[in-house]
Structure 1
Amino acid sequence: MATTDLPAFFLLISISLTITAGAAVSPPLHLTLRAYPKSLLATVLSTLGYEELATATADANFSSATPTTVFAPTYSSLVTCPSCSIPLILQEHSLRGLYSIHFLRELAFGTKIGTFAPNRCLTVTSSASPLEPASVGKIFINGVEITKPDLFNNGLLIIHGLQGFISHLSPFSCSIERMTSLSFPQQPPPASAFFMMRQMLKDSMKRLRVSGYSIVALGMRVTYPELSVLESLTLFAIDDVSIFSGGEGHSYVSKLKFHVVPNRILTAADLFALPKGTALPTMESGQNLVVTNSGSGSPLAPLRINYVKMKQFDLVHNSRIAIHGMSTPFRHVYYKEI
């Protein structure tokens, strides 16, 4: 076979053997790197109909041995930004590592992933509600829907098709605090506050599940109708090991509301600033939490609430929710005992 036929040969082998739709792929850190022809990305993009992106690969400086995921905008999407640089657009819509649609669905709402463009991040969001299976919702990349997931997947290169308005990423795209509205699918203004709380709950539950707090995440899902109408909340959580250890942890699930401070976000700094004796109303009617030791943040003077030592601070912290880890469930304590 002539040397000039090698790219086409590799492409035919890849397409005939390894194109999969919705295939589950392990996270990028667990991949084994393999070399592939330098022109494969351009050849695949061209074959799939992304001629403009295929032409731009020569100037995009991709490594030939790095597993890569490309979110490929259509020509109609590219023309929405006539001043855009196509090579830069390609860099900004490409990630190091393999992110199949299955893996993207498992990411927490608002997850930011660094791209090939320095200091530029893509934001992954979903339209699914916390009560729906992850497979139901649409996946958005910086607010643009993935309309053709897993167009190509050979274990080293994944290509997803995008359809929507395209623009260059902001210098602040890796900063949550300065995230723009383009990072989220558009929602009707009257429901925006409720929508945001729903998404923050979804984000929190996903983060808890991957951090060893899956039972707490399940409890939040059960009480979701009540949690979703709050403006904000602070939750004190117990990890799965403590719940299943046979001690008092099993009582936590039935008393979840007693571990939630509604309509108030208390970060670690806020908690340390509370004086001893501060009462914190909970979702359990008529029951308060009490700061029994204000603490200083040091091991010798730990913060204690209802005499329970805090185990981990700011386990989850977003614009509506703060979650902290604790060692055992809270006991009911009355202020006169302090």
Structure 2
Amino acid sequence: MASLKLLSLILTLSVISAAAQPPESPAPPQSLVLAAETLENSGYTAMSLTLKLIAPTLPLPSATTITAVTIFAPPNAAFSASGQPSLAHLLLHFSPLSLSPSSLSSLPFSSTIPSLSPSKHLTVTSSDPKIISINNVKVSEYPIYDDGFVIVYAIDNFFDLNFTLARNSTKIDAKLGFQCLKLERVSQFDDASGVLKSRGYSIFASFLDLQLMGFLDLKKSSEDNGMKWTVFAPVDEELVPFSGDFLGYSSLFMRHLVPCRVTWGDLNEMGNGTMVSISVDGFNLGITKDEDDGILMVNGVEIMFPDMYNSDWLVIHGIRGVIPLPEEEMELLEKLPVTKVEDSTASDRAEF
């Protein structure tokens, strides 16, 4: 009987989807196609078909060709028991973030996770990092599918579309301030870099400026230095336009670097508008959250892969774009005269 209900539901989904999608609907990203195939091979037939049907029209960010999404897949029995779920209910099971197991387990109780369902978010309801639950539904410890950007977890049942925490539940307190170390350059490269710049070798000097060891006292051990870092890393394609801007490499790298360890759990606990101070290049990074969909952003750039890497001293978050320079610094750069590298090089060589 249950199998007949499931078959009926699948046929209904097929008819509705065929009628709803225009003939010119774009093909879904290959990663979603592979995820749907993996779901089918893993026994999640209904969710596999659902993904195939709605993948071309998922409201994912279109700023890049990278598809960052986490999918929570209910079992076939849940589809059979509940019947045809609404589109808003289905989209609640899609988050526009790549959430690794470490990302999920790092979130404290009552943290929110954005979803693709309009004005709805998911809520972490587990306090034990070994057992993950969202909206009081258990989530599998390991993904069914994970290609680094699209991640699929199994869940025990559908998430409740109207879920709210009980009034007596203890919510996390917003962190209104987050202090990092104030960096002072003690680099043995400083003098050499200054000489190179004065003689027209600014490009190589910029590469020296990128060395993180330049901020450490090399006479001390790493434990004595106690340095911890957070990197907000743009996807490769967002950095391609900067590939020829050699003089800007140092600034480009440094403004994505924070001299303290800030996990996704820390970011979620921060109040909207919290300033993570200070970035290495001398300006603050502001953390904001879209109140409607719960998306976290750093200086207006979406964090799409939180806790991509997480160790005792280094955390890396994947972001959708490049953190822009402050307007006043951009104005100064535009006023600087353009220097031809080959001319300065030739004049420098003439001295020898």
TM (normalized to structure 1)?
0.37
Q: Tell me: higher relative CO, structure 1 or 2? Use CA pairs within 8 A at least 6 residues apart.
A: 2
